[in-house]
């Protein structure tokens, strides 16, 4: 799929997935898309755990009520350092690095015919990231920032309507009017 078509089709999929496994070869392609994302000072701060073990998927999925979490055939877990190192003038960019990697992976997921949803805020509540971290043997100095449950979508959905260009962007100076 051409990149602009993948951008146009990418959407957050929260519904059930079909009972079809995601081959490891495809999971590797998706994670490689994340690895190839830009990172501040090329520090490459985000690491990944691919989860395709049925027992682990079920255990993680049961923590959430969303159908996508409960029926995911694979999950990609994005991991960051709890105490990031500054890489430029006292600044660390691991949040930006992770976000860039996740967007690359979401586009790769779409291009390969799968669907996913970006899970972030839910992880931060009720110690969920820590519980999943224990299941996946994540070192204590690291934490889970994003979880991507993925699979073959049971239903075809489209990207939600976006505001027009003129309400979100302009040239040369800010003059956006809502």
pLDDT at position 23 is 98
pLDDT at position 111 is 97
Asked if residue 106 belongs to a domain, the reply is yes
* Mean local confidence (pLDDT), 20-41: 97
Q: What is the dihedral of CA 17, 20, 23, 29, to 10 degrees?
A: -30
Give the chain's domain count. 1
CA 153/CA 155 separation, integer angstroms:
5
pLDDT at position 178 is 64
pLDDT at position 61 is 96
Edge-first strand listing for the sheet containing 115-116: 47-51, 74-81, 142-151, 115-116
> Does residue 32 have a pLDDT over 70?
yes
CA 79/CA 35 separation, integer angstroms:
12
Asked if residue 153 belongs to a domain, the reply is yes
Asked if residue 174 belongs to a domain, the reply is no
Domain with 105 in it: what CATH number?
3.40.109.10
Asked if residue 69 belongs to a domain, the reply is yes
Asked if residue 177 belongs to a domain, the reply is no
pLDDT at position 153 is 96
Asked if residue 173 belongs to a domain, the reply is no
The model's pLDDT over 116-169, given as tens digits with 9 standing for 90+, comes to 999 999 999 999 999 999 999 999 999 999 999 999 999 888 888 999 888 889
- Phi/psi at 120 (nearest 5 deg)? -135, -70
For residue 94, what are the domain limits?
A: 3-168
For CA atoms 171, 106, 120, 100, give the dihedral sign.
negative
Asked if residue 110 belongs to a domain, the reply is yes
* Burial track 48-78 (b if 16+ CB lie within 10 A, e otherwise): bbbbbeeeebeebbeebebbbbbbbbbbbbb
- Could you give the 3-state DSSP secondary structure of residue 76? strand
Band of residue 109 on the pLDDT scale cut at 50, 70, 90 = very high
The model's pLDDT over 50-91, given as tens digits with 9 standing for 90+, comes to 999 999 999 999 999 999 999 999 999 999 999 999 999 999
Asked if residue 131 belongs to a domain, the reply is yes
């Amino acid at each position: 799929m051409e990149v602009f078509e993948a951008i146009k089709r990418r959407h957050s999929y929260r519904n059930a997935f079909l009972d079809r496994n995601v081959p490891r070869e495809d999971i590797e392609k998706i994670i490689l898309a994340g690895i190839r994302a830009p990172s501040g000072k090329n520090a490459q701060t985000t690491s990944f755990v691919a989860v395709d073990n049925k027992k682990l998927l079920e255990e993680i999925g049961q923590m959430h009520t969303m159908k996508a979490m409960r029926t995911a055939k694979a999950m990609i877990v994005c991991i960051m350092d709890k105490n990031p190192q500054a890489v430029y003038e006292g600044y660390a960019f691991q949040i930006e690095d992770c976000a860039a990697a996740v967007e690359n992976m979401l586009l790769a997921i779409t291009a390969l015919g799968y669907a996913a949803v970006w899970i972030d805020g839910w992880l931060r509540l009720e110690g969920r990231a820590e519980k999943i971290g224990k299941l996946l043997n994540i070192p204590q100095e690291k934490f889970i920032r994003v979880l991507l449950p993925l699979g073959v979508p049971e239903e075809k959905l489209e990207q939600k309507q976006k505001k027009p260009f003129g309400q979100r962007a302009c040239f040369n100076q800010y003059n956006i009017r809502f």
